[in-house]
Chains A and B, each alone.
Chain A
Amino acid sequence: MHSEPETRNSKLRQLRWRCRRGMLELDILLEGFLQHGYEALDGGQRADFERLLALPDQELLEYLLGTRTSTEGSLAHVIACIRNTSVF
């Protein structure tokens, strides 16, 4: 059995790898958010973040650049969080 902090850390490391994408723009936005914004999300929002990470890169890029909007309220919320955490 893993201890609880170890389980949490391995989850974070997994997310960190899943933030590695095929495009620099996504790497920057997602990694920045994981470092500076993810902690503030509640359980449901974290699940939404993981759902976002499962999307194809191109679609995710369009959401994060705002050229496309998600019709799903909860996803749209996490997208807005990421856009607002933009580290630049």
Chain B
Amino acid sequence: MTLPPARKFDTLVIGAGGGGLRAALQLAQADASVAVVSKVFPIRSHTVAAQGGINAALANVLPDNWHWHMYDTIKGSDYLGDQDAIEYMCRAASNIVIELEHAGVPFSRLPDGRIYQRRFGGQSQNFGGEQAARACAAADRTGHAILHTLYQQNIRARTHFFDEYFAVDLIRDEQGYILGVLALEIETGEPLLIEAKTTLIATGGAGQLFRTNTNARINTGDGMAMALRAGIPLQDMEFFQFHPTGIAGKGMLISEGVRGEGGFLVNKDGERFMERYAPHAKDLASRDVVSRAIYTEVAEGRGCGAQGDHVFLKLDHLGEETVAARLPAIRELARTFLHIDPAHTPIPVYPTAHYTMGGIPTDRHGRVVVPAGQGEEAIPGLYAVGECACVSVHGANRLGGNSLLDIVVFGRAAGNDIIEYLRENRFHRPLNVASVEQALGRLARWERQGEGETVDGLRRELQQIMEQHCGVFRSQAVLEQGLDKVVQVQQRLANAVLRDHSRVFNTARIEALELENLVELALATVTSALGRTESRGAHSRVDHPQRDDERWLRHTLFFREGRTLDYKPVRMKPMTVESFAPKERTY
């Protein structure tokens, strides 16, 4: 086998969303040679979709401090978040938002010029008291503004971009060092080897696992699957956030902002049912709570519409003027995709897959960690940040506004740690040809000709299985059936063929590689969900409805080899303050 052409850099970042770009910036500004690989143009990364805001206890609108933010995040995580990482993130938040402001992110402002802050679900003052206002927003384009700003700064700092290159697999040597990645140039279909002393995975989430989801089509969890194939476990994959208000049957997000502005949910009897499930926070309770409430209303026959398969989000009572002034984008979304005007007609909504809480296990410096002896150790030179990583600040359930924060805080932290690593590891290690050949084998497999199933059909089937067998509510029997079905899809995928073998922009080949990744993650998700016999955060087992802190205050680790599970303790000890002990979670 001839080896593909190679390029060498100090450091490689796979993924150009907010997480990858924040890390790359730190590195480029420290004069490292940085390569960023992205399967789409960087500014089309999924971070652009984040409209709501980024959390920081600036206390510009209502009293606030980082310690309250820390409490909310731990409570929101259903006590599965690591308290040291959460303290680190909440403490860093104000500074990082100010830094973004100075870099040029046009945050919305109060009349006195300070940054305006929105109220989001799960935010409280004084450790569970009154509603707080903690989300900083740049109108309804926060993610876009952050991504564009970071991209421009990276261009200025001379980061080298490989746009429209698809990362296939990590390259590693016998000692376990990661040497870089095998990538595919989408335009030419030619492989390229990118060698680096450190590699950071920042490839985002895997919403495409589920039939209805809020995510862009590119969110296929490629980096997580690459980690699995490199022998690294994935952590807490059973925790997938379902956003309560997706457009029914289609998945597009109707943001919490609608409920923040006074919209509320009703069942077919017109009842404001959230009053029953969360008497205090009602429609603004945490996402997992609202999702389960909607699911239950529908399951118990109180759903709306001819099929009774959704509930209504009402905002007609706000009046046409308010809807037009405060929620113009939502109004047009409903008009475009549903042909209704929400100023007059309620929006049919149902929970939709939204955010991957689990991912590649890391410490708070972004270093990828794996079990070793009684504890764990870092894989030399390998890092992960953002939605593909599990650091773990979101635990069993993420709060709105905490993901944009996560990606920039830990992107910066990983950048700083890589700079240290590069000081002590000044040379490239020799290439491991066997590992390159293995990665090339993944590509060669799709050259096979002949008859076979199509990738498109199998993807749809997989998404359907995940929705039916690993959705908002789960049980052993349903999960077991789901696992069997995913295994069958995996076997059938091994026999699938491409109809089109051309090289130039062969998107069918990319989609085949993405589907292989999704199947790996489906196995991880269902197996982890079967293992956890309790209900916590986004993971609800009807056969184990209670949270069980005795047995389950621990993280799941899924290994690809033999599909085995292992567990590790939650880090309950914060960096400097007292630990927050688990309490019942009520809203």
Contacts and interface: CB of A to CB of B under 8 A. Distances in A.
A66 B507 contact: no
Given A25-B252, A65-B329, A83-B336, A13 B507 contact: yes
Contact of B43 (A26, A56, A88): A56
Given A10-B505, A25-B333, A67-B332, A17 B217 contact: no
Contacts of B45: 22
A11 B252 CA distance: 29
Contacts of A16: 505, 507
Interface stretch (B208-216, B278-286, B366-374): B208-216
Interface string A48-88: 00000000111000101111000000000000000100101
Interface in A3-61: 6, 9-10, 13-14, 16-17, 20-29, 56-58
Interface in B508-551: 510
A77 to B, nearest CB: 18
Contact of B218 (A9, A13, A20): A20
B335 A22 contact: no
Contact of B44 (A13, A57, A66): A57
B148 interface: yes
Nearest to B508: A13
B186 A17 contact: yes
A62 B338 CA distance: 17
Interface stretch (B46-54, B118-126, B397-405, B457-465): B46-54
B140 to A, nearest CB: 9
A17 B216 contact: no
B141 interface: yes
B336 A20 contact: no
B213 to A, nearest CB: 7
Given A20-B44, A65-B335, 6 more contacts: A13-B504, A13-B507, A23-B216, A24-B213, A25-B336, A65-B333
Nearest to A17: B507
Interface of A: 6, 9-10, 13-14, 16-17, 20-29, 56-58, 62, 64-67, 83, 86, 88
Nearest to A59: B144
Candidate in A9, A10, A13, A64 with the most chain B CB atoms within 10 angstroms: A13
16 contacts: A10-B502, A13-B502, A17-B186, A21-B40, A22-B44, A23-B49, A24-B215, A25-B336, A56-B144, A57-B44, A57-B48, A58-B48, A58-B144, A66-B335, A83-B336, A88-B337
Interface residues of B, number: 39
Interface in B312-358: 328-329, 332-333, 335-339
A7 to B, nearest CB: 9
A66 B336 CA distance: 9
Given A9-B502, A13-B507, A17-B164, A24 B217 contact: yes
A65 B218 contact: no
A23 B46 CA distance: 6
A24 B504 contact: no
B222 to A, nearest CB: 13
A48 B328 CA distance: 26
B217 A27 contact: yes
A10 B215 CA distance: 27
Contacts of B275: none
A13 to B, nearest CB: 4
A15 B178 CA distance: 34
Nearest to A25: B252
Which of the listed residues B250, B329, B333, B336 has the most CB atoms from chain A within 10 Å of its own CB? B336
B187 A14 contact: yes
Nearest to B147: A22
B216 A20 contact: yes
B586 interface: no
Contacts of A57: 43-44, 48-49, 144
B251 interface: yes
Of listed A27, A57, A88, residue having the most chain B CB within 10 A: A57
Contacts of A64: 336
Given A66-B332, A67-B332, A20 B337 contact: no
Contact of A58 (B46, B141, B250): B141
A23 B253 CA distance: 10
Given A23-B216, A66-B332, A88 B339 contact: yes
Contact of B148 (A14, A17, A24, A56): A56
Interface string B421-465: 000000000000000000000000000000000000000000000
Nearest to A66: B332
